[in-house]
């Protein structure tokens, strides 16, 4: 589908995807070293509940960031895409509720799950690219809710309200992947891979075409680009990321139910992405760490049940004061607050 853009963006050499606050190579290396060495100092609880969970939610938010940041399409259906992968793993692999569970090995279920997720994402994208801006939010929210309701009502395929439980993570070379350190490194590896892929993809011909479509769809169409194909392909690629996250999520939780892919979860992903910032792929992971920390430790601050209020207020404050999330705050702090030349009209 990327063949739809035979002509390179000729003429000016664009400063491809270098938004304000772009972490330099040094920062990347430092971050990588810190993340790789984390298991040396952190306990298993921190590694899995904070580390792995942030990475998984960050991956989901990254798939949203790809669509929103580069494509201008805010999707609330990324959790639905992850859910497709998760349910596929539960149905084709093993589970303990004695519904389906074909017992396929992981190297078969995972590719199938991710393929389903990516195709599902492309389908959702194909439906929703007919609309723009806030309409896309509405339609993807409607799709996400409908899918969750469907999973809840359907017992033959999704096992209804209960969903699936007892889904084991595989064992690789005698090492249980769900063991804290192994799982942390697994999530870190997948996240790093996707992060680099997104950074690279944003500078590819396809990525530039997508960003140009975001900025001026009419002009791109006049230039002979198939803008719909660009957008749907972006959905497909984001679907792969969300699918990977979905597989990790179902291994992490060991269960999946309609609540996993419900509206609250869908909005949670959006909150993470927006809190972190949609300008750069590091944003979603930043947002995920903040939200996971709040979710884990808010109990000590505001009492057991009210952590949603704290998250909601954090979200409100950030949206209200810094549209670019924490990344925006950071770049403002750095005094580099300038407009991204690829996104006209943002500063207005």
> Under the rule (CB under 8 A), what is the footprint of other proteins?
74, 127, 130-131, 133-135, 137-139, 141-143, 145-147, 149-150, 152-156, 221, 263, 267, 270-271, 274, 305-306, 308-309, 311-313, 315-316, 319-320, 323, 348
Smallest separation (angstroms) from other proteins to the CB of 217: 10
> Which C-beta is closer to other proteins: that of 83 or that of 180?
83
> Which C-beta is closer to other proteins: that of 107 or that of 320?
320
> Which C-beta is closer to other proteins: that of 80 or that of 109?
80
Smallest separation (angstroms) from other proteins to the CB of 134: 5
Smallest separation (angstroms) from other proteins to the CB of 150: 5
Q: Which residue has the tokens 């207005």?
A: 348
Hey, which residues does 176 pair with through a beta bridge?
171
> Which C-beta is closer to other proteins: that of 106 or that of 116?
116
DSSP strands (E only) in the chain: 171-172, 175-176
Distance CA 58, CA 198 (A): 13
Hey, which residues does 172 pair with through a beta bridge?
175
Smallest separation (angstroms) from other proteins to the CB of 112: 23
Asked whether the beta carbons of 256 and 100 are under 8 A apart, the reply is: no
Hey, which residues does 164 pair with through a beta bridge?
256
> Which C-beta is closer to other proteins: that of 190 or that of 212?
212
Smallest separation (angstroms) from other proteins to the CB of 256: 18
Q: What is the 3-state secondary structure (H, E, C) of 110-179?
A: HHHHHHHHHHHHHHHHHHHCCCCCHHHHHHHHHHHHHHHHHHHHCCCCCCCCCCECCCCCCEECCEECCC
> Which C-beta is closer to other proteins: that of 51 or that of 239?
239
Distance CA 323, CA 337 (A): 13
Helix (H, G, I), strand (E, B) or coil at 22: coil
Instruction: Report the run of H or E that residue 214 belongs to, with start and end.
Output: helix 205-215
Smallest separation (angstroms) from other proteins to the CB of 257: 15
> Which C-beta is closer to other proteins: that of 192 or that of 263?
263
Smallest separation (angstroms) from other proteins to the CB of 154: 6
> For residue 41, how many C-alpha atoms fall within 13 Å in the half-sphere facing its CB?
6
Q: Give the residue among 192, 194, 220, 191 at the shortest CA–CA distance from 205.
A: 220
Would residue 22 be called left, alpha or beta, if left means φ above 0 and alpha means ψ between -120 and 50 degrees? beta
Smallest separation (angstroms) from other proteins to the CB of 84: 15
> For residue 248, how many C-alpha atoms fall within 13 Å in the half-sphere facing its CB?
28
> Which C-beta is closer to other proteins: that of 46 or that of 267?
267
């Amino acid at each position: 589908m990327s063949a739809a853009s035979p002509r390179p963006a000729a003429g000016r050499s664009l400063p491809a995807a270098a938004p304000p606050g772009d972490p330099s190579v040094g920062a990347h290396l430092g971050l990588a070293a810190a993340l790789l060495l984390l298991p040396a100092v952190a306990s298993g609880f921190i590694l899995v509940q904070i580390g792995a969970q942030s990475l998984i939610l960050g991956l989901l938010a990254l798939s949203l960031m790809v669509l929103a940041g580069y494509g201008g399409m805010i999707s609330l259906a990324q959790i639905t895409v992850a859910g497709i992968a998760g349910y596929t793993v539960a149905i084709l692999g093993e589970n303990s509720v004695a519904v389906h569970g074909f017992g396929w090995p992981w190297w078969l279920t995972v590719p199938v799950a991710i393929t389903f997720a990516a195709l599902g994402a492309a389908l959702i994208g194909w439906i929703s690219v007919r609309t723009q801006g806030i309409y896309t939010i509405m339609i993807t929210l409607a799709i996400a809710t409908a899918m969750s309701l469907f999973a809840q009502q359907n017992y033959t395929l999704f096992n209804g309200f209960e969903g699936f439980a007892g889904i084991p993570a595989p064992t690789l070379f005698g090492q249980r992947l769900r063991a804290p350190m192994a799982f942390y490194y697994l999530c870190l590896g997948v996240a790093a891979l996707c992060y680099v892929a997104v950074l690279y993809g944003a500078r590819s011909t396809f990525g530039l075409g997508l960003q140009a479509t975001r900025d001026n769809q009419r002009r791109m169409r006049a230039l002979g680009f198939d803008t719909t194909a660009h957008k749907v392909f972006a959905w497909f690629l984001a679907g792969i990321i969300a699918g990977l996250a979905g597989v990790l999520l179902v291994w992490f939780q060991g269960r999946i139910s309609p609540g996993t892919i419900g509206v609250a979860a869908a909005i949670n992903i959006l909150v993470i992405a927006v809190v972190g910032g949609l300008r750069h792929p590091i944003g979603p992971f930043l947002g995920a760490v903040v939200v996971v920390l709040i979710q884990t430790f808010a109990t000590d601050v505001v009492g057991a049940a009210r952590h949603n209020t704290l998250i909601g207020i954090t979200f409100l404050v950030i949206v209200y004061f810094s549209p670019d999330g924490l990344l925006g705050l950071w770049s403002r702090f750095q005094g580099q607050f300038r407009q991204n030349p690829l996104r006209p009209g943002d500063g207005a």
